[in-house]
Structure 1
Amino acid sequence: MARKLMVVGNWKMNGCRQYVNELTTALSLHCFNSVDVVVCPPACLIQSFGSIDFLLAGQDVSDCNDGAYTGDISAAMLAEIGCEYVLVGHSERREMHGETNQQVAQKVLRAIEQGIKPIVCVGEPLLMKEAKAEQDYIAEQLAPVLSAVNCEQLEQVVFAYEPIWAIGTGKSASPEQAQCIHKFIRDVISRKSESAAEKVRILYGGSVNFDNAQALFAQDDIDGGLVGGASLKSDSFTTICRYANGEH
């Protein structure tokens, strides 16, 4: 089945109100009918967006509903300020904040409970790539999530393959390499639900830019991109969105 492509811009700890206005203006000049455009600004900037033709996402969500968790943000809070998606298990959260695969699965559930679609990030470090153990590594990341959700909930999940060795390095998996891993991820999902595996979108993240986006998006199992640095340049991000929209 044909899956609608998605382009997600992850600003990380960057951005300001001026860039909110700049990017909003740039995207408003185009009609993106064939692609879902999602922007993940820092939490403090989410409510700076006015009327927009794209979707908003949080960069992280707590695995708890509420309570004494200073600095955390709950799924209910994200939903209240207009987020339809949230990144979960980004490699920087896993590495720098010690998030486990089990915590990621709990965050997925908290998001779904509030009607927010989680974008679950998986991917291997260079050591696993060199050992040719990337599939085993990714399967371990996927397992708790697939165990936590039922088949209906699984259809609400977006996955993003982000090889850690390619994030912010300027290096990128070749379209063929990325397709191989995306096909593997879809095969793992199909063991739980073949129907969900056909519907679930799997994005590629890892130095996506306007030079490699078209070739990546042309692959059968790559359903768009999780864009980091290039999302902080309105012309670059808009160009990537246009490519996903079928424009040249």
Structure 2
Amino acid sequence: MRKTHIVGNWKMNQSLAEIETFFNELGELSDINCAAWIAPQGMHLPILLEKKLEGFAVGAQNCCEQDSGAFTGELSPKSLKDLGAHFVILGHSERRAIYKEQNALLNKKLHKALENQLVAIFCVGETLEEREAGSVEAVLKVQLTEGLKGLTDSHIGKVIIAYEPVWAIGTGKVATPEQAQEVHAYIRKELANISGFKPESTPILYGGSVKPANVEGLLTNEDIDGALVGGASLTGTSFKELCQNSK
């Protein structure tokens, strides 16, 4: 059975005071049954790594495709692992759109993250234009086949897929549970065509304006195994509600 994951992506948000307030609101996590993960800004990783909560893990929002070298401003996956990070998010739609990260680069980042024993949350998704053109499956097929190629059997078990329809991120729009399930089912079917993947055991998360009020409806679908959450993960109260509603 695939474990439910609620992953908070804080993006470039949260001051030190806001982080303290978050954990005061969050309290203990002993009453939840999901994995509760947070990806803060890079400079805040050590602060969150000090928190010892049941089911709680900390990761990064991105990493470099190299372990070390002259890569000013980058995050080394080796250093992330040394620091104690558990996971890294790769291929988020904002990285693809704003920083023009392509599938070939993301594949290199993925390999390097997995070599360093980090769990990799690999993001895929279509724009509104691609959806309206009926190209959802074609777009996802390219992102999956090019982004996930060349992985070893030992690495595949550390890959989580996150489907984030770009048109639903930060817009207040959300795919209906039926729309999300349809795409998740396609992703799971497509994973079967990628060497080494066991689609029935690979978690697939949904990302796109997920909130405490809609997360339960999304997770009633058999192929939706959790959520990658932005704004609704920024307060401890909301994040805990997300986790409690993820049954």
TM-score by length of 1: 0.94
Query: Counterpart in 2 of 1:126?
Result: 128
Bigger drift between 86-95 and 183-192 goes to: 183-192
Q: Which of 200, 225, 232 does residue 223 from structure 1 map onto?
A: 225
Partners of 1:26 and 1:56 in 2: how far apart? 18
TM-score by length of 2: 0.95
Partners of 1:19 and 1:145 in 2: how far apart? 35
Partners of 1:62 and 1:148 in 2: how far apart? 18
For the residue of structure 1 that corresponds to 2:146, the secondary structure is helix
Cα deviation digits, residues 172-205 of structure 1 (max 9, x gap): 0000100000011111111235862111100000
Bigger drift between 132-141 and 43-52 goes to: 43-52
8 A Cα contact 1:209 1:240, kept in partner: yes
8 A Cα contact 2:6 2:36, kept in partner: yes
Query: Counterpart in 1 of 2:35?
Result: 36
Partners of 2:189 and 2:11 in 1: how far apart? 30
Query: Counterpart in 2 of 1:171?
Result: 173
Return closer, same or farther for 1:228/1:141 CA change in 2, 3 Å cut-off.
same
Partners of 2:16 and 2:31 in 1: how far apart? 23
Query: How many aligned residue pairs are there?
Result: 244
Bigger drift between 228-237 and 124-133 goes to: 228-237
Query: Counterpart in 2 of 1:52?
Result: 52
- Counterpart residue identity of residue 198, structure 2: A
Partners of 1:117 and 1:64 in 2: how far apart? 16
Partners of 1:135 and 1:27 in 2: how far apart? 38
For the residue of structure 2 that corresponds to 1:24, the secondary structure is helix
Which blocks of at least 5 consecutive residues in structure 2 are unaligned?
Answer: none
Q: Compute the displacement of 1:32 (Å).
A: 4.8
Is 1:235 the equivalent of 2:237? yes
Cα deviation digits, residues 19-50 of structure 1 (max 9, x gap): 22222233333315521110000001111122
8 A Cα contact 1:11 1:229, kept in partner: yes
Partners of 1:16 and 1:174 in 2: how far apart? 33
Is 1:17 the equivalent of 2:19? no
Query: Counterpart in 2 of 1:61?
Result: 63
> What is the RMSD of the two structures over their aligned residues, measured on CA atoms?
1.4
Identical-residue share of aligned pairs (%):
36
Q: Compute the displacement of 1:11 (Å).
A: 0.5
Cα deviation digits, residues 34-86 of structure 1 (max 9, x gap): 21110000001111122321100100000112111100011011112211100
For the residue of structure 1 that corresponds to 2:191, the secondary structure is helix
8 A Cα contact 1:27 1:238, kept in partner: yes
Misfit runs of 4+, over 4 Å: none
Partners of 1:141 and 1:235 in 2: how far apart? 35
What is the correspondence of 1:1-248 to structure 2 with a 5 Å cutoff?
Answer: 2-32=1-31, 34-49=33-48, 50-53=50-53, 54-192=56-194, 196-244=198-246, 246=247
Return closer, same or farther for 1:25/1:193 CA change in 2, 3 Å cut-off.
farther
8 A Cα contact 2:163 2:206, kept in partner: yes
